[in-house]
A and B are shown apart, each in its own frame.
Chain A
Amino acid sequence: MDKQVTYSGMIWLLAAQLVVMLPFVFHLPFWLLPVVLFAAGWRLWVLAGGAVQPGNMTKLLLVGLGIGGLLLSGLQFPSLEAMSALLLLGFAFKSLEVIRRRDAVVVVFIGYFLVALHFLYTQTMLAGLYGAFSLVVLTGAMIGVQQVVEEFSAAQNVRFNLRLAGVILLQCLPLMVLLFVFAPRLQPLWSLPLMVDQAKTGVSDHMAPGDIEKLSQSDELAFRVTFKGERPPQDQLYWRGLVLNHFDGREWRQFDDAYDLERLKYAAAHEYAFHPENMQVLGDPVEYEAVYEKSGQPWLFTLTPALKVDGEVLQAADYRVMAAQDVQAPLLLKATSYPQSLRDVQLDPYVRQLALQLPTGGNPRSRDLAQRLRAQAGSEQAYIDKVLARFREQQFYYTLHPPTLGESDTIDGFLFTTQRGFCAHYAGSFVFLMRAAGIPARVVAGYQGGEWNAQGKYLTVHQYDAHAWAEVWQAGKGWQRVDPTAMIAPERTEQGLEAAVQAEGSFLENNHFSTRNVAWLKGLRQKLDAVQYGWQRWVLGYDGEAQMGFLQALLGELTLAKVAVLVGGLGGAIVLAWLLLLGLARRGEREALEHQLYRRFCALLAKRGVVREAGYAPGAFALQAAQALPTSAALIREFTQVYEKLCYQPDADGQAAIKRLKALLRALK
């Protein structure tokens, strides 16, 4: 075991290290990569005889420098990142002191662990494929460091090792699938603070000028939806995320106090609780399944109002659906919505108070306008129509580049001066006008529309589909959705953002890497996306619940015995296939009976301390054994004679000899 690693073995190891560490560059301090390159270069330099093996002091210094670097990189201690970075650092430096095979095997094993670790950061299909590639290279390195003689040319060596590694891993595949499908999904026993300072993407918990503008420049995926039945028309796809009740004169927030998830969860269980009984369910249901991308926030996006929601989610008085924790990994949700329902037959006083809140001062012209229009209009509905008509008839423009509005009286500035903006401006000012006239209203933030993937028959919703709209409550009608943006830019809700800003050309204009502007790539992109979605739904989405569902569909009522028989059967089948295909069961043809007897004879003597070396002929062995075991000498000699005669003398009497051999064997025992 303690052989030295050959030069080609070392190259294999370094290559594998590089392959394993490469994807971490996106998640951990980037300077770890140069460190591994540096260590690899040094090692090769040593191997080529250009330098000596670094001494203990040098190593200590390097480790000190590395840890110092980690501390300076702004990683939090203790956190998963810091631990991973430390492990990677050790992994990079380890190559400096790999001399013997034992060290190399340690490096390869850490490499396997790092491949798994990388899935904590990303679980896309690409990452999965890369992980598989890393496994092949690592296994190739494992083979490489075991090779003693360099028999092949470099190219042959690479091909041979990779092929062998691939074959080895392919053999493991059935077992992997079995474990994936049947291994119980256990809750973690402990957890480290995972990625504390997470980047949050998507709709945020407040709406200030500029927020949605930024989102509109991102073509990142927000979520994907599969509909069970008919797909609702595009302009009905309002994906409610959260409701912004509180306006402080500049930005819209959910409540007057700052956002805190725990506080919100408490409110959703008490004063802000969801009351389905305060709703009159009408119309046809829309059943769908959505997979939300990691966002670092708890918001989930559903059609309003969503009833029958699966999984660990919360619902609140404003018909929102949200996850119990920030979404750090793709999350699957099954929901049924009844879009034509009458929501909040009775308006809860607390909700009413929230929906009428306005800052005490500011925006005098808007308040004045509201008073005037309300006085002119005979009913609330007439007032709403009047306000919308005003948006439609006056010179309002839909643009992703609105002029800045300053710090105060932003509603006034927008309504009377600039008159340019996008959904956030329209929704915000509309709700302001409603409230100023005493009509309960609120801003809803979420996504609108989505791109239909005809390949996979599902809807993809991207960050640029982020949208804000308004809701007003009227007695007898409940909450009704009003989208003032649709007044100014109807194509926004019908065809999406791209169509709405086509003239302006501002769709993803700052996102130069986006392939979304390349028309001919669209088919390919949709196909790829369909594959990705399948991966998410069937691989990442296969959690404990899905597993239970699958097993129940397969076995009916679940009992431990049934599962054990199934898993045992499949496992046994895999082992059997290995034995048959790899020839492990074919350990030579069955030997003739006399040889079996002779081997038993040898085993007997071996137990008594006389071991036959393979190259010992029976006669020679008999001499040795008889000398070592004088008490059985006669038996040993006779057994050997009979055996020799049977094997090597032609026309010996087989039957009699075998009988005699058996008898002698019994006597020896």
Chain B
Amino acid sequence: MTMAVPQLIHATLAQLNKVILGKEQQVRLALSCLLANGHLLLEDLPGMGKTTLAHALAQVCGLEYKRVQFTSDLLPADLIGASVFEMQSGNFRFHPGPVFSQIFLADELNRATPKAQSALLEAMEEGQVSVDGTTHRLPSPFFVIATQNPQSQAGTFPLPESQLDRFLLRVSLGYPAPAVERELLLGRNGRTLLASLPQVLNGQRLKALQSLVPQVKMTDTLLDYIQRLIAQTRQTDVCQLGLSPRGAQALVKSAQSWALLQGRGHVLPEDVQAVFVAVAGHRIMGRQETQGEQLARHILSKVDVVGNGRG
């Protein structure tokens, strides 16, 4: 590695922020998701820059990028590929689908049928696909960015909780700030910058960074705080659906990854708080159908950061 880790991270973030203006927090979340080796769910309206973000990530990280627009007639084979008979050799040969890429953008994931969705979700979880009894390993790193349109729900198949759980983080980009909007109105186009974006990372460097994430230290005091948060999500009078152990692991991993992005070798409560909404928002559910995100924010404000009770 020619560059020290902090500089590397700083440079990566700087490049990404050049393309996605005024969304440092979300960009950081997306990158920490990538570093934590998890998958990202972007939930937003069309035209908010989801695709641009995915593209920029691929470009900066030097990864191979593919995109599929999900529709209701999408078949699993359209994603993972199929075995095709070849006249010349007289054999079946596997033609890999778009899922064989390092960054895979699944646009409007909830438009596809559950069958197609689960094909992708299996690939995400296992890191491999099986076709006709043969197992094909997916490239590494394999990073899925799925987008969802939360608004028009007609003709969609909302992802069940078990599948939402596969995504490490859920992030919304949201509307740009007025100043940024002005720049956009003046004709600045992130997409055009994409081509000129220098490649900061490569597969090897990314892997090195990913291996650093589990080494970020957590003290007992911090783990107490995390456990208090988790316990609060499991309080039956607050939540109907609490954070699962896998969700809790996701919280720790993301917090470590976030701390690494901050250039720290240990996790602070602020790191946990920064990722908590993105981790828990799509995993917990309130009593009266409260939005998970809202509930997560409420829990953050309720649970005392200081102290050593475990909740």
Contacts and interface: CB of A to CB of B under 8 A. Distances in A.
Given A613-B301, A615-B300, A615-B301, A648 B268 contact: yes
Contacts of B305: 614-618
Interface in A582-613: 588-589, 591-592, 595, 598-599, 602, 613
Contacts of A573: none
Interface residue SS majority, chain B: loop
Interface string B206-223: 000000000001010110
A85 to B, nearest CB: 44
A589 B269 CA distance: 21
Nearest to B229: A615
A649 B301 contact: no
B303 A615 contact: yes
Interface in B252-311: 266-270, 273, 287, 300-309
Contacts of A34: none
A617 B269 contact: yes
A647 interface: yes
Interface string A528-562: 00000000000000000000000000000000000
A648 B269 contact: yes
B273 A648 contact: no
Interface in A56-97: none
Given A614-B302, A614-B303, A615-B300, A648 B308 contact: no
A617 B255 CA distance: 14
A176 interface: no
Nearest to A650: B217
Contacts of A650: 217, 219, 266
B201 to A, nearest CB: 28
B270 A620 contact: yes
A506 B113 CA distance: 93
A93 B266 CA distance: 66
Contact of A617 (B237, B270, B307): B270
A622 to B, nearest CB: 11
Contacts of B269: 617-619, 648
Interface string B177-193: 00000000000000000
Contacts of A648: 219, 221-222, 266-269
A613 B302 CA distance: 8
Interface string A613-634: 1111111100000000000000
A440 B206 CA distance: 128
Interface residues on B, range: 20 to 34
A644 interface: yes
Interface string A372-397: 00000000000000000000000000
B308 to A, nearest CB: 5
Most buried by B among A149, A616, A620: A616
Nearest to A592: B308
A648 B219 CA distance: 5
A588 B268 CA distance: 24
Contacts of B267: 648
Contacts of A619: 268-270
Nearest to B259: A648
B72 to A, nearest CB: 39
Instruction: Give the residue among B217, B301, B305 with the most A Cβ atoms within 10 A.
Output: B305
Contacts of A149: 237, 287
Nearest to A589: B309
A317 to B, nearest CB: 77
Contacts of B221: 592, 595, 647-648
Contacts of A595: 221, 306-308
A149 B305 CA distance: 29
A641 to B, nearest CB: 11
Contact of B219 (A589, A591, A614, A649): A649
Contact of A614 (B222, B266, B270, B301): B301
A483 B265 CA distance: 110
A497 B227 CA distance: 81
Contacts of A616: 305
A613 B301 CA distance: 7
Nearest to A645: B266
A80 B190 CA distance: 88
A523 to B, nearest CB: 53
A602 B307 CA distance: 13
A617 B271 CA distance: 10
B306 A618 contact: yes
A49 B269 CA distance: 51
Contacts of A647: 219, 221-222
A647 B308 CA distance: 10
A598 B307 CA distance: 9
Contacts of A591: 307-309
A644 B268 contact: yes
A644 B222 CA distance: 10
Contacts of B270: 617, 619-620
A591, A598, A602, A648 — most chain B CB neighbours (10 Å)? A648
A514 B174 CA distance: 84
Nearest to A651: B217
A342 to B, nearest CB: 83
Contacts of B309: 588-589, 591
Nearest to A649: B266
A113 B42 CA distance: 62
A602 B304 CA distance: 13
Nearest to B298: A615
Contacts of B237: 149
A588 B301 CA distance: 20
A326 B32 CA distance: 90
Interface string B221-248: 1100000000000000100000000000
B190 to A, nearest CB: 31
A495 B184 CA distance: 115
Contacts of A598: 306
Interface string A134-159: 00000000000000010000000000
Contacts of A614: 301-305
A623 to B, nearest CB: 10
A595 B300 CA distance: 19
Q: What are the nearest 5 A-B pairs in CB distance? A: A615-B301, A617-B269, A647-B221, A614-B304, A650-B217
23 contacts: A149-B237, A588-B307, A588-B309, A589-B308, A589-B309, A591-B307, A592-B221, A595-B307, A595-B308, A599-B306, A602-B306, A615-B273, A615-B300, A615-B305, A617-B270, A618-B305, A619-B268, A620-B270, A644-B268, A647-B222, A649-B217, A649-B266, A650-B219
